[in-house]
Amino acid sequence: MKKVKEEKCECECGCENENKCNCGCDCGKNMKHHGHCMNNSGIYGLGFIGAAIFFIGNADTFKEGVIAFLKAIVWPVFMVLEAFKFLIK
């Protein structure tokens, strides 16, 4: 019987271990993607679209539109800032 070579974990933590990665997941063999190790770029992308619609929709001039687009890129900063303001009250 041929021995199958196990592939190394290729999740975001960058570990070199075949069976366990540094983020605590159980990678197993021949698994390249597992939900809790993947980044959340899809969620960020949807948030970016929603933030762009919100911020650009409230802009009145082209300059405000450009600033609104830049705000949409860094929308998580505003969310965390407001959360901290709420927690400090």
33 & 45 share domain:
no
Q: What is d(CA 32, CA 58) in angstroms, rounded to the nearest whole number?
A: 42
CA end-to-end distance (rounded Å), the chain: 66
* Chain-centre distance for alpha carbon 77: 13
**16 and 55 part of one domain:** no
Domain count, the chain: 2
Instruction: For residues 47 and 75, state if they share a domain.
Output: yes
What distance in Å separates the CA atoms of residue 48 and residue 41, rounded to the nearest whole number?
10
Same domain assignment for residues 3 and 27: yes
pLDDT in tens, the chain (89 residues): 555 455 555 565 666 555 555 565 555 544 454 555 556 778 888 888 999 999 999 999 999 999 999 999 998 888 899 999 999 98
Q: Domain containing 48: what range?
A: 41-88
Amino acid type, 33: H
* 34 and 45 housed in the same domain: no
Other Cβ atoms less than 10 A from the Cβ of 79: the count is 12
pTM listed for this prediction = 0.49
Asked whether residue 78 falls in the same domain as residue 53, the answer is yes
